[in-house]
Structure 1
């Protein structure tokens, strides 16, 4: 399949949900994309939904209650089908209407919110799935174009100054507060935007993982535009 994503060695582009889920990550690959050109009016769904908080979870019942045009109904059917596919696979998909995420303002020299490049971690074998139907889409960063923030000398020294405990517990401190999950782009790094409509599967840091986890971040939202995001 020809796709701009396929030029990156860490990304495998597939044409079905079965291909998305049925092969383990291996080698350099740590991201997989079910590339799709979706039909339907996803903006109509966003416009019909009501934002209750900065992030509002949207249920299937909420979707079914919307009065939609033919194109809106088409978009709704796609979302409901995606939710069913992921649920049948054993995942727990969540559809979110996003105005913005909470910013990390506790530490002024190292951010640990989702707008910072980071990897996901789990105590069990799992992957991250996501699809942006409307609005700004997430980015991933090739692993060789990023450096773990805790390995940057000036940041590490500041973290050591923040830590109040024995040297033997410093690494546990970094993990407890998720500092070790975050990455800094190297100069001239080239992020890869995940686009709208595609379902992505990203490698997570877990005990059985055979590849490096996928570095990604949430985008800065477009002004006056909500994101409609399926994630699990």
Structure 2
């Protein structure tokens, strides 16, 4: 496992699911990793699934319908157990097989797609749980190594021109279109791969509305 994240004060590690969901975020810490070395053939599952879209959601019934080898079945049981753990906790897990994500190319100076570093936002207190079982894993980056794009002068100027409204409504405009969630890595930044098999819990920005 890549342990570069262990040097960041924002990322912590745990050894059980109970620790993952019950450990409070304190101070700068906003990410927790349940480090796991999973056994099983996850590629076999991917190879057997019928992929019709760039993003195909797979439900437990789809997994149960597959005829798998012993190693494939071991991988399936791991995924199904993660489903049970998260569902019993009160989360709404979903399993996706990705060919690729669609790109947001509406603007050439800022994007809000998953190819950029960004934070999630929710109107209620919640967290994001994330795990890659097979394929290319997601990268995350510590806050201190990234800059909010709306604070970069040249981008802010273009967004202000796009807004073309009262200055007191500019911040609401940024939030409404999710521009304020996008971040740019600093030149010295070192992105962290979430790795394969590890289950992560990431803090979510809370946006309260009346």
TM-score class, shorter-chain normalisation, is over 0.9
For 1:1-232, what aligned pairs fall within 5 Å after superposition?
Answer: 3-206=3-206
CA shift for structure 1 position 112? 1.0
Distance 2:42 2:24 in 1: 31
Q: Provide the C-alpha distance between the structure 1 equivalents of 2:171 and 2:80, rounded to a whole number of angstroms.
A: 42
More helix by percentage = 2
Is residue 125–residue 207 contact of structure 1 (8 Å, CA) maintained in 2?
no
Query: Deviations for 1:141-199, whole angstroms, at most 9, x for unmatched residues?
Result: 11111110000000000111111221111111111110000001111111011000000
Contact (CA 8 Å) 1:63, 1:76: kept in 2 or not? yes
| More moved, 25-34 vs 162-171 | 162-171
Specify the SS of the correspondent of 2:118: coil
Mapped contact 1:31–1:203 kept (Cα < 8 A)? yes
Please report how far the alpha carbon of residue 6 of structure 1 lies from its aligned counterpart in structure 2 after TM superposition.
2.4
Q: Distance in 2 between matches of 1:194 and 1:122?
A: 22
Tell whether the 8 Å contact from 2:4 to 2:192 is kept in structure 1 after alignment: no
Any idea what the Cα deviations from partners look like across 1:125-149, whole Å, max 9, x if unmatched?
0000010000111111111111100
Deviation of 1:9 after TM superposition, in Å, equals 1.6
Let me know the Cα RMSD of the aligned residues: 1.3
TM-score by length of 1: 0.87
- Residue 212 of structure 1 aligns with which residue? none
Q: Distance in 2 between matches of 1:118 and 1:153?
A: 19
The aligned residue for residue 225 of structure 1 is none
The DSSP-based 3-state class of the residue aligned with 2:13 is: strand
Instruction: For residue 5 of structure 1, report the CA deviation from its aligned partner.
Output: 3.4
**Residue 206 (structure 1) shift:** 1.0
* Gap runs ≥5 in structure 2: none
TM-score relative to the length of structure 2: 0.96
